Chain A
Amino acid sequence: MARLAAPLDSLLVMPEQVTNKSKRKFNFFDSIEKPTEWFIRLCGWSSIIGIAAIFLFIFKEAAPMLPRLDWVTFFTSPRWIPNPAPGNPASFGALALLVGTFTTTFIALIIAVPVGLGAAVYISEFAKGKVKETLKVVIELLAAIPSIVWGFIGLMVLGPLIKTVFTAAPGSWWGQVMVTLHLASAETGAAQGTNLLTGGVILALMAVPVIVSLSEDALRAVPDSFREAALALGANPWETVRRVLFPAARNGLLAACMLGMGRAVGETMAVLLATGHNNRIPAALTDPVRTMTATIAAEMGETVFGDPHYRVLFILGIVLFAITCSINVASDLIIKGVKKANKA
């Protein structure tokens, strides 16, 4: 108590010091508190304004075409003929584009989900010290590489490699295997290096960092007491992961995979360069495909402002926007569900 006496004494404030406002030093930054707070509030709403503006402006450009578009054709026909020619009437059938987007995404997820979850578990539960730091930095570098560079890698490095692997002499056993297993549609193998498989692998490499970093967050959010309890019951590390951590972090891991999928669906430049850009429904793994995003990127520059083709590309944008937004909102709800459960 004696030690407290002196500081308490010095804290005593005389009444005249409090009331004497003229002596207080003027500070510019303090004087702008109220306007600053309102400005901060406005900036806080910026993301809502942004998402509303995106929806509004894309909708505005697409609107005149919405009632005129043949929606049945749009979703069921693979005939995408934006520039009519004699004997070849214009038709906006986006089925092949939708199939292209979802097949590449599917292949990407088949690769990225196990690899991403495995890497996340290794980094968060097994790796230690330098190894852990290095792995985290590498994952970050993977995330930092721009999509156009991934496209370049698909076009120049991975594509030729895949073409070499999926090439066979006619009549050889490998050609027959490829045709039987739908790895290639011809016995000679893949016609070109840029195809469904190349695009899928490239998208997988792009989705992995998303899945790893979010899954790692989800695993880290599991309280250590869970791990200690499992250890006390005699579980080895792998049993802890499988029986304790996976169930506890289930929702977070699911959300991570969904956001990885969102990234794969919305990717543009990489698939533009790496999938071969061929408007047809793929029959085999190494057929070239074309995605919605790549179609917008490739064709928007050729359109005339205001014509149906231009507006249909905006409708493709709305479809993409709707898909990715529902993926994101759903994963957000899943993650929030976890937080509520942990609080209870």
Chain B
Amino acid sequence: MKENPFASTQFERRKFRRANLNKWIMFSFCAALIIPLIAILVDIFVKAAPVISLDYLWLNPANKGKEGGLWAPLVGTFYLVIGSLTLVAPVGILAAIYLNEYAKEGILNRVIGIAVTSLAGVPSIVHGLFGLGAFVLVMLPAVNSVIGSPNDRASNWQAGLLTASLTVAVMNLPVIIASAREALGGVPQSFREACWNLGATRWQTIRTIVLPNSLSGILTGVILTISRAAGETAPILFTGVTFFKFVADAGWEKIFPYNPGEPFMAMSMHLNIISNQISQMPEGMKYGSAAVLIGLILFVNSFAIILRVWLRGRKRW
């Protein structure tokens, strides 16, 4: 019997085995990320299961969070997200339009690019310090000197929803710029050229061609910003969040409990305080609020994922 001249040599077989082994090692790295993550999430949700109910979401926390539910912090987080989003979304999207559609290659564009990356890397606690220094200590006295009366201290605005929303907005600016820019960059250049050739101006092109074609991508970025804003603690720590504020148990005041100039409660702060600063906190309440916060974030994020899959399906280029 003749030997197969094309058979792999000992050396080649060894190399192939090593390549395969390395592939499995890399796969095990991925598994090392996924399995503990799932185990931890399951653990939290299982331990939270006994307390979670509709009442848990609907009732206000009582007795320093040891009893009752999560309504007041939940609604505070909701208004924080809405506030910061209305402040940051227009500015961020327009900034992305400027960077992608107007800016020419040059020193200014480069500086803006570096500013966006630096802003994205600023630690969240430094954003908190900035919010304290800029919005609470400088902006609020200015606001109060216009609308408040010096005799009536109680009517003056304090650090609250407004200052916290502004701080979180600054923090999310680079996130929304980066994602919107990516969405705008995904629109093929030929679309723009075709539009210009029909005589449209730059602004008409952006309005009628570029924005409609990148809308879903921009929305995905906005949704990711929502989930980021909902979970942040450090930036709002000194700029308006509080652990306890009285919220009415019924009526319109339950739906709209916070003035923009009053301290508010938020889910992330609630979890922070009850998980390590209050003694004899029932385990169920800790795990319950963690599970609600995680569930909220995953719920919001799943929209972004669904939107992206749907977007890929109907892409026309």
Contacts and interface: CB of A to CB of B under 8 A. Distances in A.
Interface in B274-296: 275-276, 286-287, 290, 293-294
B95 A47 contact: yes
B123 A149 contact: no
Could you tell me the dominant secondary structure of chain B's interface residues? Answer: helix
B248 interface: no
Chain A, interface size category, equals: 35 or more
Interface stretch (B17-25, B54-62, B183-191): B17-25
Given A40-B94, A43-B94, A324-B121, A140 B305 contact: yes
A57 B133 contact: yes
Interface in A265-309: 265-269, 273, 293, 296-297, 300-301, 305
Interface string B106-128: 00000111111111111111111
A142 B227 CA distance: 12
Interface stretch (B64-72, B78-86, B145-153, B232-240): B232-240
B29 A114 contact: yes
B129 A58 contact: yes
A229 interface: no
A331 B121 CA distance: 11
Interface stretch (A75-83, A184-192, A314-322): A314-322
Interface stretch (A30-38, A85-93, A166-174, A175-183): A30-38
A238 B116 contact: no
Contacts of B112: 44-45, 47-48
Interface string A327-340: 11101100000000
Contacts of A118: 25-26, 29-30
Contact of A155 (B32, B95, B129, B276): B276
A95 B219 CA distance: 45
B40 interface: yes
A142 B305 CA distance: 14
B260 interface: no
A251 B114 CA distance: 17
A153 interface: yes
A267 B123 contact: yes
A318 to B, nearest CB: 9
Contacts of B276: 155, 273
Interface stretch (A1-9, A66-74, A121-129, A218-226): A121-129
B1 interface: no
A329 to B, nearest CB: 6
Interface in B1-31: 15-16, 18-19, 22-23, 25-27, 29-30
Could you tell me the dominant secondary structure of chain A's interface residues? Answer: helix
A325 B118 contact: yes
B313 to A, nearest CB: 13
Contact of B227 (A144, A148, A155, A332): A144
20 contacts: A29-B204, A33-B203, A41-B98, A47-B115, A53-B130, A114-B29, A118-B25, A119-B29, A138-B33, A142-B37, A148-B233, A149-B231, A151-B275, A152-B290, A157-B44, A266-B121, A317-B129, A321-B122, A329-B114, A329-B117
Interface in B192-206: 201-204
A46 interface: yes
Interface in A130-153: 135, 137-142, 144-149, 151-153
B84 to A, nearest CB: 14
Nearest to A303: B238
Contact of A324 (B99, B123, B173): B123
B117 A300 contact: no
Nearest to A298: B237
Interface of B: 15-16, 18-19, 22-23, 25-27, 29-30, 32-34, 37, 40, 43-44, 90-92, 94-95, 97-99, 102-103, 111-130, 132-134, 137-138, 170, 173-174, 177, 201-204, 207, 224, 227-228, 230-234, 237-238, 268, 271-272, 275-276, 286-287, 290, 293-294, 297-298, 301, 305
B129 A122 contact: no
Nearest to A29: B207
B118 A329 contact: yes
A152 B271 contact: yes
Contact of B237 (A141, A149, A300): A300
Given A139-B33, A149-B271, A39 B94 contact: yes
Nearest to A259: B121
Given A148-B271, A152-B286, A40 B29 contact: no
Nearest to A234: B12
B125 A126 contact: no
Interface in A7-37: 29-30, 33, 36-37
